[in-house]
Amino acid sequence: MRSEKVMFFTEKEEEFANLLIKIGTQRNVAKVLVFLANIPEATSRAIERGTDLRQPEVCVAMRHLAGMNWVKNRDFKKETKGRPRKVYQLAKPLNEIMDNIASEKKKETSAHLARVKQLRNYIS
């Protein structure tokens, strides 16, 4: 039997993920982002176990993160037969990712305020 080290969220990491969720980040994306921020790299299976997400949820989160250019992957050939595994890591520092999130939220807020202003014009 082989042994495997499984990483789990600390209370602080859970809080970080919950804050990301509260500002509008998808739950699975927030959890994967926080998980990858705390380790150099991980396989999809390690991410599933560490975030308590199912494989399709991790896949969707990875697709979103890759679309934002926040994560990169590489193939890792196992010593046994079978398909190579993908190993994921953040492509940008977490501070830069948080700056991107903040910028996006500012744009969203400005758009909402512009709509409110437009609504006020209908009242006047």
pLDDT tens digit string along 2-27?
555 667 788 899 999 999 999 999 99
Q: Are residues 74 and 103 in the same domain?
A: no
Q: What is the percentage of the chain residues whose pLDDT exceeds 70?
A: 93
* Residue 121, Ramachandran bin (φ over 0: left; ψ between -120 and 50: alpha; else beta): alpha
CA distance linking residue 16 with residue 30, whole number of Å: 8
Q: Are residues 60 and 79 in the same domain?
A: yes
When pLDDT is averaged across residues 48-54 and rounded to a whole number, the result is: 92
Q: Are residues 2 and 53 in the same domain?
A: yes
How many domains does the chain contain in total? Answer: 2
Average pLDDT of the chain to the nearest whole number: 89
**Which one, of 23, 25, 69, 30, lies nearest residue 47 by Cα?**
30
At residue 2, the pLDDT reads 52
Q: Are residues 17 and 56 in the same domain?
A: yes
**Residue-number span of the structural domain to which 49 is assigned:** 1-92
For the chain, how are helix, strand and coil distributed in percent, rounded to 5? 60, 10, 30
pLDDT digits 0-9 by tens, 54-88:
999 999 999 999 999 999 998 877 777 777 788 99
Q: Are residues 9 and 48 in the same domain?
A: yes
Q: Are residues 50 and 107 in the same domain?
A: no
Q: Are residues 8 and 39 in the same domain?
A: yes
CA distance linking residue 98 with residue 46, whole number of Å: 24
Q: Are residues 85 and 114 in the same domain?
A: no
For the sheet containing 85-90, what is the strand order? Answer: 42-43, 85-90, 71-76
Q: Are residues 111 and 88 in the same domain?
A: no
**Which one, of 43, 33, 38, lies nearest residue 76 by Cα?**
43
